[in-house]
Every structure is written in C-alpha cells, then in structure tokens.
Structure 1
Amino acid sequence: MLRSLVLLLLLANGGYYAWSQGLLQPWGFAPHEQAEPQRLQQQIRPELLRVLTDDAGKAQRSTPAPASPRPAEPVAHAEPVAAAEPDAAAAAKGECLQAGLFDAAQADALRHAAAALPAGSWRLENATLPGRWMVYMGRFADADQLARKRSELRELGVSFDRPNAALEPGLSLGRFSTEEAAQRGLTQLNAKGVRSARVVQERLDMPGFVLRLPQADAALRAQVLALRGALAGKELRPCA
C-alpha cells in the first residue's frame, strides 16, 4: 500500500513538472501564458538597461548627484580698443611750453637772446602774477617773543610758517589767493583761540612777461634751455 502511494506521488510530481514546463503542450495540456505585447512595444531603448551588482549599486547611491548648473552670468564684452600709436605729425609739432614771470629788464635780455631762435617759434606775452594774502602774526620785538608765540601756537594745534623777509620777525598762519579767503581763515583761527593775528597782503599784483613756445619740439626745447642766463632761473613748463 505504501509502495503504491509513493509511486502515485512520483507520477503526480512528474506530470506537474511536464505540464509546468510546457512538455504536454502538443497534447493541449500547458499553463496559460501571460504576455502583454503592448508593453514590449512601449519600451524605449531597452538595450540601455544596465543591471547593477550590489557593490555597484551602493557606490552609486553614495555618490552625490551633480548640482544643477547655475545660470551663466552675463559677461560684459568691451569693445576692442585700438592700440595707441604715437602720432608722428603731432610729435613733430611738439607741445606748448612757457616760462616766467619775467620783469621788464629780464624780458629785454630774453628778447635779445631769443632772436637766435627760429622765427615764429616763440613770443613774449604780457602777464600778471596775482597778489597773495596772508594771515600774519608779528612783528615781534625779539627772538624770545617769537619763540613764546610759536609755543602757544603749538599748544593750540595751529600750524605756522615763516613769512617773507619784509615781514620778519613774524609768523605766517596761512596764505590765500584772495582777501576774502584770508578773512575766512582768520575767523577759523580765532575760533581756536588765536587772538593777535591779522590779514595782510603779502604780495601785490605783479605785472610782467611770459615766454611762450606754442609748438616746442625736442630741438627747440634744447635751444631754449641753452639760453640759461637769459631764462633767469625760470623753468619751462606746460602752458596753463
């Protein structure tokens, strides 16, 4: 009886195996095949599908996702600038230079010396050196009084300088181009505690002459500088 039961179970298992594997399909015995062809048709490039191993999957999960790119900031493009090239014509013409102020006697000597320069390359022009005003303290009776005033000004935090020789011994507390500006400077000094200062005109308007070279190239400049005595120590400088 037991042998028959075992044999029956073996036959049943063998038949189920044959049925599940489709070996009995030619005789009409086979499991129902579940297929969805429409899903296969909807797949997009299935050949790109890659199966990761467990180690590869962990590595990919631990790798941070790349940050989304920031929008590019606008870059200002400068217009191409042509390289500066020296203008040969302008260099040949030279630059405007002047020297002065010369008084009448100095102007006569310069006029005589400059006669050797190329015609039309120079001229003497009338000019006036404007006057100058000063906040002044003095004159002092002696050097001791001058020293005491200097010490007082240092304590007040007021700067000072020497005046011109005609106002010695004394102290200059500031020089100004106009009397009004000098008066404002004096008011500010009074607010600091300065009491004995006053406004004086240090220099009167000074008429004279200015040597002007409208187009001085290197050669003309060298010729003029050779007239050292006639220039009376005045330096050439760009025209104002």
Structure 2
Amino acid sequence: MLLRSLFLLLLVANLGFLAWRTGWLEPVTSAVGLPGPGDGREPQRMAQQLQPQAIKLLAAPPSATVVPADSQPAATPDAAASEPLSDAQRAASSATACLEAGPFGSAERAPVETALRGVQPAVRWEWREAVPGWWLAMGPFPDREAMRNRREELLRRGVTPETVSSGPLLLLVLGRYAQRGEADAQLAALNARGVRSARVLAPPGSGEAQYLLRVPAANAEQQEQLQALTREQSSAHRFAACAPGNGG
C-alpha cells in the first residue's frame, strides 16, 4: 500500500513538472510569483551574445612580396669580367722564370731564333757559348734505316732521342751533359729500364762552338709556348730552369 502511494506521488510530481516545463502553468506561476520555465534561460543575455550584425571581417596584414629567383637579374658576363683581379692572380700572371736550352751548334741558331719570334708576347733571348761536355748516345749506325729502327724502338720505351749526323757518323743522342758524372748516372738509369747499348762519349768535333739559349724572363703564357717549341726535341734541346748562377 505504501509503495503504491509513493508511485502515485511520483507520477503526480512528474506530471506537474511537465506541465510547468511546457508553460501550461505559466498563468498560475506568474500570479503567485514563481519563476517560469523560461526564466532560467536568460533570453535577454542570449540576445546580447548573438549579434551577427556586429561581426566584422578584418583584412589580413600585408605580407612580404616574394620575388622568384628566376626573375632576379643575373650577373652578366661583362660584369663578371670587369671584376678586378686579386693580388694572388696578379702575382701569378706576372711571375716570370728563367729558361735555358741547348747546347746548339752554330748552324742551328738561325732556325731556333725564327721559332722564338713566333712567341707572343715577344720574349728576349740571348746566346752563351757552352763548354763542350759529354753525350749519352747510341751508334754510330751503319745507315739511316738502322738508326731509324733503333729510334722507333726507343720511342716505344718512352725515350726521345735526338738524331745527329756528324760527317759519316750517324748517332742517336739521348742527352748532353756538362759533367761526366751526370752522363754516367743517366746511363745507369737507362740500363735499369732495359735500354742497352748506350754509351758516354765526347761530342764529335768538340772543337766546334756550341751555344746555350737562355730566355731570362718568361711569364706563364710564354713558358707554355717555349715548351711547345721543343716538346719533340731531345732532353738537351728542351727548355728547363736556368742552372744556379745563370738566372736573369
């Protein structure tokens, strides 16, 4: 009986709350001063919060303009070429060296000077009488064909001999040296490489005057041209640094 009474009481309370919530009892609650179902919602406050007409869109701040790398002006070749040379570059271009070649016979001087006149910028050269020294040579050969065959064999071994015809003598000169010891040392080096039959001898006709060619001051460009002139010659006729005490 008690449970039934509680059930009926809860049912009546729920029905009363539903009636109040839906506004059916609003005339009664207003008359007695009780709050209505809409009082807890604060409609005025909600109306103040929702004001779409007060919303304003703000413009984004201006951003930095990015210029593509392709649109930037590139340095022109003329501008790069006009940049001044560094101290190291100027020093390298102006550095000179003393070069020397020979000895040469009297008859060889004229064609050598003709070749030197083709070097640009022009170089200054001078001749010095050479003291007769020693040759490292092969021969004499019985004929030019035998000498040519031997020369081709030496070229295959990386040795470039000089062909010398002194009267009836046909020789291949592998080097010319001022001191006998220098010639002997080179002969030993060639023997170690398998090059045989060379020997050290005094130049034929040692009484003939021999001359050393010296270029006292040649820059890098001139040095390259001078070396090209004698690249196919024997080691004695190629340009090398001046001997100590002979530099310009």
The TM tier, using the shorter chain, reads 0.3 to 0.5
TM-score by length of 2: 0.32
TM-score by length of 1: 0.33
